[in-house]
Structure 1
Amino acid sequence: MQRQNFRCVHRLRVRWAEVDMQKIVFNAHYLMYIDTAMSDYWRALALPYEASMQTLGGEMYVKKATLEYHASAKLDDTLEVGLRCARIGNSSSLFEAGIFSGDKLLVSGELVYVFADPSTQTSTPVPPALRAMLEGFEAGADMVEVRTGDWNALGRDAGRLRTAVFVREQGIAADVEADALDASARHAVLYNRLGQPVATGRLLQQAPGVGRIGRMAVDRSVRGAQWGRVLLNTLIDAARVRGDQQVQLHAQCSAQGFYQRAGFAVAGEPYQEAGIAHVLMARDF
């Protein structure tokens, strides 16, 4: 078992609460590390877990978990937890896990999940859609479809995401979040393999040769899996194809680092918009 065998890897740092008197990780915490990595696995599939399981008509239940200890992790170690779906049966799925410090394998594990009806907790066959997603992910397939278009085509799904993020999560007034610019904007929506929208944004024409990206929203349950970057790249590419020489955005200050990593630079002083600190950022082509 090697680190490079895993497409999904969760990185963490060992905390004080997880070690014993010898500052070695208490053995039960390794299962917690693997369970945390499983959340990243669903994010890597672009699956909001609760909503996706409702769509699939079941739940994933752990039937069996085994660990084999090869070496110990210590306080402040940075660990990488790899997770992969190794086999899918009729109603069960076998996941293999590896916990690494650098290239050194510390713990290996296997978890058997059973897909079951949550009302009776009796096993049912793994849905074909879930089987295809698990097999596709492990084979290196893309997990999202990117669609671009106008508000008539994408507004329903884009609006649902924006309401969830900006109105319900951030407390922005609904009449401030929605504006007349949606009608002239080019919109992008990312859909997972269940057809669920998981991210959205829009591109405006700020001025001749200058695009403006805005209303970037990612479903909170799949954040941290690079779907925001996929969405941003889609809008940047659309601006470039249109012939823009620059693209701007009004970033929430809490997301400034995200945009800087995508090549944007601060182009103004921070200001308040809808009660949230923003800053103008720009990227030249």
Structure 2
Amino acid sequence: MKRQDFRFAEPLRVRWAEIDAQQIVFNAHYLSYFDLAVGGYWRAMALPYVDTMAALQGDLFVRKATVEYLGSARYDDQLNIGVRCERIGNSSMQVIAAVFRGEELLVHGELVYVFADPKTQQPRSIPADLRAVINGFEAGEAVVTVQEGAWDELGEAAAAIRQTVFVQEQKIPAEMEWDAADATCLHAVAYNRMGRALATGRLLEHVPGVAKIGRMAVLPQVRGSGVGRAVLEALMLRGKALGYREVILHAQLSAAGFYTRAGFVQRGPQFEEAGIGHVEMVRLL
């Protein structure tokens, strides 16, 4: 079993509270590590777990968990917890988890989940669309598609995401969120493979030759999974196709690192919009 056998791995740093009197990670914590990584696995598939299970009218219950110990992790070790779905049966799925320190395999295990009615816990067949998403992910397929279009086409989905992120989460007044530009600019919305809208952004002309990306929003449950990057890349590609030479955006300070990793650079001092710190960032197309 090697690190490259796993498409997904959750990074983790061992905390002081997780080691025992032998100065190694207490054995029971590895099941918590597996569980943490399984949560990341669902995000990596762009499937918000709670909402997905509610839509499928079921839930996954652990039927079996086994752990095999080959080595010990210690305080401050930087680990990667690999997760992959090994097999999907009628109502059960077998998940393999493995703890790596660098390329060294320390611990591995098996988790068997049963898809069941959330109230009675009676097993049910795993839905075909969930099966397709998991198998597609393990085969290396993309987990989201980005649709581009006008407000009339994508406005309902985009508005729901922006309402959740900007108005409800960030407490931006609703009257500041909606403007006339929505009716004329290009919108992009990322959908997972079950049709759930997860992220959005828009593109409009700033000045001739320069486009502006704005209203970038990603639902909290899938942040860090690459969904926002997919929207950003789609908007930049469209901007280039439209003949723009440069794109600018106003990044919230908390998101500046995200845009830096996408090739944007800061231009000018920090400023406030809607009471939130921002910085202008720019990238050539």
Q: What TM-score range do you get, normalising by the shorter chain?
A: over 0.9
Aligned residues: 285
Q: For residue 253 of structure 2, what is the aligned residue in structure 1?
A: 253
Within 1, Cα distance between the matches of 2:193 and 2:262? 26
Show the counterpart of 1:269.
269
CA offsets per residue over residues 62-89 of structure 1, 9 Å max, x none?
Answer: 1110000000000000000000000001
Aligned runs of 1:90-101 on 2, under 5 Å? Answer: 90-101=90-101
Secondary structure of 1:194's aligned partner = coil
Which residue number in structure 2 is paired with residue 242 of structure 1? 242
Compute the displacement of 1:104 (Å): 0.7
> Could you say which residue in structure 2 is the equivalent of 1:199?
199
Gaps of 5+ in 2: none
For the residues of structure 1 that align with 2:48 and 2:238, how far apart are their CA atoms? Answer: 27
Report how far residue 284 of structure 1 moved: 1.4
CA distance in 1, matches of 2:152, 2:270: 34
1:115-155 Cα offsets, whole Å, 9 max, x none, are: 00001111100000111111111111111111000000000
Q: Which amino acid in structure 1 is aligned with residue 58 of structure 2?
A: G
Q: Distance in 2 between matches of 1:167 and 1:260?
A: 25
Amino acid at match of 1:15: R
Quote the Cα distance in structure 1 between the aligned partners of 2:244 and 2:22: 59
SS of residue in 1 equivalent to 2:282: strand
Q: Would you say 1:62 and 2:80 are equivalent positions?
A: no
Deviation at 1:105, TM superposition (A): 0.5
Q: TM-score, normalised by structure 1?
A: 0.99
- Which residue of structure 2 lines up, in the alignment, with residue 281 of structure 1? 281
> Which amino acid in 1 is paired with 2:266?
V
Matches within 5 A, 1:44-193: 44-193=44-193
Distance (Å, rounded) in 2 between the aligned partners of 1:115 and 1:106: 29
TM score, norm. by length of structure 2: 0.99
Secondary structure of the residue that 2:75 maps to in structure 1?
coil
More off after superposition, 177-186 vs 148-157: 177-186
Tell me, which stretches of 5 or more residues in structure 1 are unaligned? Answer: none
Q: 19-28 or 68-77, which moves further after superposition?
A: 19-28
Classify the secondary structure of the residue corresponding to 2:155: helix
**What SS does the corresponding residue of 2:62 show, helix, strand or coil?**
strand
Q: What is the distance in 2 between the residues matched to 1:228 and 1:263? A: 14
Indicate the residue corresponding to 1:216 in structure 2. 216
Q: What is the root-mean-square deviation in Å for CA atoms of aligned residues?
A: 0.7
1:22 is displaced (CA, Å) by 2.9
Runs of 4+ in 1 over 2 A off after TM superposition: none
Give the percent of matched residue pairs that are identical in Structure 1 and Structure 2. 55
Q: Give the Å deviation of 1:23.
A: 2.1
User: Structure 2: how far apart are the matches of 1:266 and 1:136?
Assistant: 38
Hey, what's the Cα distance between the residues in 2 that align with 1:147 and 1:257?
25
Residues 171-215 of structure 1 show CA distances to partners (whole Å, capped at 9, x for unaligned) of: 101111111110111000000111000110000110111000000
Q: Return the letter of the residue paired with 2:167.
A: V
Q: Tell me, what secondary structure is at the counterpart of 2:90? A: coil
What is the Cα deviation at residue 21 of structure 1? 2.4
Q: Distance in 2 between matches of 1:103 and 1:73?
A: 13
